[in-house]
Amino acid sequence: MMDYAGRVAQADTYPKLLRLNASEHGAEIALREKDFGLWREISWADYQERVRNFALGMRELGVKRGDVIGETVVLGAGRDQLAAMICIRFSIISKWAEKKRISFTTYTDLASRPEVYALLRKEVEAVNATLPPAQRIGKFLLLYKELDADDGELTRTRKVRRSVINEKYADIIAGIYGGAPEIAVDTMIQFQDGTTQRIRTRLTVVDLARDVVAMEAAE
């Protein structure tokens, strides 16, 4: 019979490794996260259940394996419409861009390309088509970086820390709801190795709700 080390070696993807750990060490602590100032312990079994529920929820929304949308922050508390700040799935879109011969240098550069915006717009519109009007995304933009647990933007289980997002991206959120067609960004980001990089770019705000009204008026 193969020992645990051998089974780990055969778990060639993160989902397989998670499933193995949940079956072998279900009650043991997988990680700890801070939620509302309190540290909470999450077992391997709980972690697997969270991932399973998340995957089922994404499937219900029509999101499939290989999709181009990464972490997404849906905004709208106390607002008249929902908006979204979307991270592109760089590993997939970069390959797509190479096949389309779309030149780019960095994540930020790729996320700003009109072709990528057009691709993501189709994805958002497809999801909107399955939702009632009050739950549809009215505006969206593509963030200049991926959300990162090391930056405090996500928990270790990939949950969005809204308090951090609301503070860190306050100017961007204000720009979205202030009607700006573009939002200027000039900021510094720090990588895991301690190096920093200055990001200067402009984020395009896609107003889907306005475009729908314009189309209806034209008809």
In this predicted structure, what is the pLDDT of residue 216? 47
Taking only the tens place, the pLDDT of each residue in 10-23 is 655 556 777 888 88
The whole model's pTM is what?
Answer: 0.68
201: exposed, middle or buried (Cβ count in 10 Å: 0-12, 13-18, 19+): middle
In this predicted structure, what is the pLDDT of residue 49? 82
User: Residues 69, 120: contact at Cβ < 8 Å?
Assistant: yes
Window from 38-42, 81-85, 199-203 with minimum mean pLDDT: 38-42
Where residue 78 falls among pLDDT bands split at 50, 70, 90?
A: confident
In this predicted structure, what is the pLDDT of residue 6? 61
Across the range 151-166, mean pLDDT stands at 86
